[in-house]
């Protein structure tokens, strides 16, 4: 899962760089409006790429999932108020 998200992130960011560089290298010679439009599209890609890269997969452990260590899980549950510690 992690490798697929990382690959998607790098592909999107690579596309962003290609759009930006090509817009001001040769597209601007043909049409400044097209170059500006390409830059606007390139501006939207990085936040989308970050959302894709940080998306939680079905097999990913989330911050509040049990860790498997009973002592640690009990301690965190007590801190979160999920379970009362009985002494």
Distance CA 83, CA 58 (A): 26
pLDDT tens-digit series, residues 46-86? 999 999 888 877 666 566 666 778 887 787 778 777 765 56
As a whole number of Å, the CA-based R_g of the chain is: 23
Q: Which of 41, 40, 23 is nearest to 32 (CA)?
A: 23
Where do the H-state alpha helices sit in the chain?
2-22, 28-30, 32-53, 70-80
Domain chopping of the chain, boundaries: 2-55, 60-87
Q: 9: which residues sit within 8 A by CB, 6+ positions away?
A: 49, 50, 52, 53
Q: Is the pLDDT of residue 14 over 70?
A: yes
**The whole model's pTM is what?**
0.64
């Amino acid at each position: 899962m992690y490798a697929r998200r990382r690959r998607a992130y790098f592909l999107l960011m690579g596309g962003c760089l290609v759009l930006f560089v090509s817009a001001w290298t040769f597209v601007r010679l043909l049409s400044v409006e097209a170059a500006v439009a390409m830059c606007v599209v390139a501006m939207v890609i990085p936040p989308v790429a970050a959302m894709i890269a940080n998306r939680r997969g079905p097999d990913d452990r989330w911050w509040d999932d049990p860790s498997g260590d009973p002592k640690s899980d009990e301690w965190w549950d007590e801190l979160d108020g999920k379970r009362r510690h009985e002494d």
